[in-house]
Amino acid sequence: MVKNLEHFDKLVEAFGKIPGVGKKSAIKYAYYITLQDPFFGLNLAHTIENSIHSLKHCTICGGISQNEICDICVDTHRNNSMICVVESPKDILTIEDSNSFDGLYFVFNDINSVSNLKDMILKFDAKELIFAFSPSINSDGVMLYIEDQLKDLEINFTKIAQGIPTGVSLENVDMLSLTKAIKDRKEI
Ligand SMILES: [Zn+2]
């Protein structure tokens, strides 16, 4: 390391902590935002700060939102009869990008439990629960658990079609495969 560049080194180190960013890229980013385009760098810092302060989890679905309730949950034009259960709020962004689904979402994770999901189903009078988990033994277990917990409700359970490779998260699946997987969903 070059001497007396502690701030720069810290920045490189910070970028290196971002998943998927290696040392070379970290140096490239740090150089770009400090020396190549410092105005952009300051703007980026400001944007990051604003995002962190303004974003929260929707109290209904657990998705990313600027308000207590997200734009999807308040949108009366969406199909309330279908709720797509995903593993991460990021998956909502991915599926929305694919334009293949116009129902609602629910993020199932440690924060958002099955009782919240039950509340949501009853609130919207949903008729179909679509599991959009990336395939793994663990996700099969979670699906069975949720189904069992909700067996008293009048709701159909489906899951997105195979074709999504095992262990690959939704954000890394191409749009065409994702659209097809949602369209070809199967009863479970
Ligand atoms: Zn929501």
Q: Where are the domains of the chain?
A: 6-54, 64-187
Residue with the two structure tokens 């810290």: 10
Q: Which CATH class is domain 6-54?
A: mainly alpha
* 49 C-alpha to ligand 1 centroid (Å): 23
| pLDDT digit string, tens, across residues 99-156 | 889 999 999 987 778 999 999 999 999 999 999 988 777 888 889 999 999 999 999 9
More confident residue, 102 or 174: 102
Report residues near ion ligand 1: CB below 5 Å: 58, 60-61, 63, 70, 73
DSSP letter at 184 equals T
In this prediction, residue 28 has a pLDDT band, given cuts at 50, 70 and 90, of very high
Comparing C-alpha atoms, which of 45, 16, 40 is closest to residue 28? Answer: 16
* 75 C-alpha to ligand 1 centroid (Å): 10
Average pLDDT of the chain is 90
* 62 C-alpha to ligand 1 centroid (Å): 6
Helix (H, G, I), strand (E, B) or coil at 22: coil
CATH architecture of the region 64-187: 3-Layer(aba) Sandwich (3.40)
- The mean pLDDT value for 36-64 works out to 96
